[in-house]
A and B are shown apart, each in its own frame.
Chain A
Amino acid sequence: GAVVSQHPSWVICKSGTSVKIECRSLDFQATTMFWYRQFPKQSLMLMATSNEGSKATYEQGVEKDKFLINHASLTLSTLTVTSAHPEDSSFYICSARDPGLAGVGNEQFFGPGTRLTVL
């Protein structure tokens, strides 16, 4: 399958600071990427859908001004957690859709995740 990377793999920051997480598709061009959040022993919850060259679509209850998403190229999407607080501590996972596989149900490939801890 296709490879998706995330950077950093873990980050610790102070409350009130902003943190940027990168998601890259390494061997395919992804017009659509997704950002998920996963709390311990919980499922993946979709936060937003990121489309290259346009504004992200956020799920209900996700603050778009707090979680800034930029999808400036076909291989890179970034999630910036602004003014992070301890309750934002979580495991953030991105996925990228391979348009060459669209419609067959298996076209999303997941990154390894970024563990954010806000002190």
Chain B
Amino acid sequence: QKEVEQDPGPLSVPEGAIVSLNCTYSNSAFQYFMWYRQYSRKGPELLMYTYSSGNKEDGRFTAQVDKSSKYISLFIRDSQPSDSATYLCAMSQGGKLIFGQGTELSVKP
């Protein structure tokens, strides 16, 4: 079993839709939870990070962490074609990042 599981998709939604991306994990020692966006042939860029359980909102993005269920989510409201990318969840332990496989998202105009 991988430490971090993420559905690779692809996920296709119409413009304006609410997108829900999820990851599960097995290691309860993970402390920080990140979401990265990666455009094709580019390095990942940090979208959001959270510590412990709870919600965090930044514009159209909301990150949720449920440590009791070992489940994290990223919601994108009013999705735009420019949101089309691969979204990777990542978890931090001892300074190292463990990434999920990434979900490929396509937002159709």
Interface centre among A6, A49, A95, A112 (most CB of B within 10 A): A112
Residues of B contacting A: mostly: strand
A-B pair count, CB < 8 Å, reads 60
| Structural contact, B46 and A1, CB atoms closer than 8 A | yes
Stretch of A40-48, A61-69, A74-82 lying at the B interface: A40-48
Tell me if A91 and B41 are in contact (CB < 8 A). Answer: yes
Interface residues on A, range: 20 to 34
- Whether B59 sits at the interface, judged by CB under 8 Å, is no
**Chain B residues in contact with chain A, CB under 8 A?**
6, 8, 31-34, 36, 41-46, 49-51, 88, 92, 95-102, 104
14 contacts between A and B (CB under 8 A): A1-B46, A4-B43, A34-B96, A45-B99, A46-B98, A97-B95, A105-B32, A105-B92, A106-B34, A106-B46, A109-B46, A110-B36, A110-B44, A113-B43
